[in-house]
Amino acid sequence: MSKRIIAIALVLSLLVLPASAHELTIKASSNEMKEGQAFHATVQSAHKFIIPEEVEILSRVKAGIIEDGKLIESELKANDPELCIDFSVTPKDLSGSVMLVAIKDGESWCVTNEGGKSGARKDLEAQGLKVLSANKYDKYAKAIFNTSKGDKNFSQVLGHPLELIPITNPADLKAGDYFDVKILLNGQPYTGPVWATYDGFVKEYENSYAYYTEAENGIAHVKITAPGWWGVRAAQSGLPGVQGDYDNLNLRAFVLFEVK
């Protein structure tokens, strides 16, 4: 493949990839956690960074706190007025950072001769529709709270198909520093686009990011340009699908953390 074709493909991926699906993120109204007390957070789905646009289907989402390397799932409640999903966790140990996680098991979404439809390819075709393409979007979000110098909890590996694992402790960051992150795709080093932004960078326009880079052999370096809540994002499209259900599996992953 020529360099020209590769360049065109990259440009197209930058234009199309971020806009093709809502991003799954986590946000809390407060950053203050107290041991043994309920801490409230939300699962959000949007094209603007931590500005919610729609409520995900509850049966497709799970969220909660990581304890001993495992997800302890919380009860989820749809919050239609605020366009998000509410959940609470009760941290038992605040000697290190605390990780909250949200996961969406995406439904098949098809482009048909009658527009976009939710459902497996074979089921829609059985209804007489012509399916042009069928995609599934699985999404993973981590949010790290209560960071402190010397802590290692922030770098836990959970085994998600697409996973961002901080190398740099967020507690050590300030504007002007680089945040280094390891990215794994099905357990192997990911090479590809990485986007990053912070809360308040752009509120008017969708799919706007403060920083772009590329991961090489599973490592990306993100320049931190402002204090506040940051999100670093990776995506992988076009993975093999399941015959009769969806043609392509698309993965999205975020890690969120505060820079003070």
pLDDT digits (tens, 9 = 90+) for 84-143: 999 999 999 899 999 999 999 999 999 999 999 999 999 999 999 999 999 999 999 999
Say if CB 250 and CB 236 are below 8 A apart: yes
> Span 41-54, mean pLDDT?
96
For residue 13, what pLDDT band results from cuts at 50, 70 and 90? Answer: very low
Query: What pLDDT is attached to residue 200?
Result: 94
| pLDDT beyond 60 at 174 | yes
Say if CB 140 and CB 120 are below 8 A apart: no
Return mean pLDDT, the chain: 92
| pLDDT beyond 50 at 3 | no
d(CA 125, CA 81): 35
> Span 154-173, mean pLDDT?
97
Distances (CA, A) of 130 to 112, 115, 118: 5, 10, 13
d(CA 14, CA 125): 31
**DSSP single-letter state for residue 149:** T
Distance of CA 81 to the CA centre of its chain: 23
Query: What pLDDT is attached to residue 30?
Result: 85
Residue 89 neighbours by CB under 8 Å, 6+ apart: 38, 39, 41, 64, 65, 72, 74, 98, 100
Picking from 29-33, 50-54, 133-137, 226-230, which range would have the lowest pLDDT averaged per residue?
Answer: 29-33
Structural tokens at position 7: 């360049």
For residue 5, what pLDDT band results from cuts at 50, 70 and 90? Answer: very low
For residue 156, what pLDDT band results from cuts at 50, 70 and 90? Answer: very high
Distances (CA, A) of 2 to 6, 7, 103: 6, 9, 38
Structural tokens at position 221: 């370096």
pTM of the model: 0.90
Picking from 14-28, 50-64, 240-254, which range would have the lowest pLDDT averaged per residue?
Answer: 14-28
| pLDDT beyond 80 at 41 | yes
For residue 17, what pLDDT band results from cuts at 50, 70 and 90? Answer: very low
Say if CB 55 and CB 85 are below 8 A apart: yes
Say if CB 223 and CB 211 are below 8 A apart: yes
Q: Scan for tokens 């749809």, then name that residue.
A: 78
Where b means 16+ CB within 10 Å and e means fewer, 222-257 reads: bebbeeebbbbbbbbbeeebeeebbbebbbbbbbbb
For residue 20, what pLDDT band results from cuts at 50, 70 and 90? Answer: low
d(CA 152, CA 160): 19
| pLDDT beyond 90 at 16 | no
Say if CB 249 and CB 105 are below 8 A apart: no
